[in-house]
Amino acid sequence: MSYDENLARRIRAIFDDNPQIEERPMFGGLAFLLGGKMCCGILQEDLVARLSHERCTEALKQDHVRPMDFTGKPMKGYVYVGPEGYRDSAALKRWVNSTVEFVSTLPRKTRKPRKKAARVARKSKAGARR
């Protein structure tokens, strides 16, 4: 899969003043993350938007929005927005800002402690090399 480079440039311009946003290739497209959590992305020419349950329900009433069904099963909290839905700059900015607003409300990601078995395996490999 690929993604629309022009749309990526437009989103980068919106995020230009936000150093907390990082880009990462994901799902065969491009994802924009805030605090390690995806807020929006691009798959082919669709904008992927992560929204609250209420906002998703609202968004799905629009003609150019459909559920994100990347795996064949709709993913809760995500929608695809077709090109008609973000054609003008103001519309794209509204979508992107909605995703950042929602992701900003989510709890911070905490690092999971490594499993003991993984540490033991690494130690035994290190001992074998000596």
Which CATH number characterizes residue 80's domain? 3.30.1460.30
pLDDT digits (tens, 9 = 90+) for 61-83: 999 999 998 788 889 999 999 99
Instruction: State how many domains the chain has.
Output: 1
Q: Which of 88, 96, 107 is nearest to 41 (CA)?
A: 96
Considering the entire predicted model, what is its pTM? 0.80
Q: What is the pLDDT of residue 27?
A: 80
The predicted-structure confidence for 15-65, as pLDDT tens digits, reads as follows 998 899 999 998 889 999 999 999 999 999 999 999 999 999 999 999 999
Residue 111: how many other CB atoms lie within 10 Å: 6
Helices 5-15 & 89-104 angle (0-180, nearest 10):
60
Residue 2's pLDDT is what?
85
Could you tell me the residue range of the domain that residue 30 belongs to? 5-129
Q: How many CB atoms lie within 10 A of CB 102?
A: 22
Q: Give the SS3 label for residue 62.
A: coil
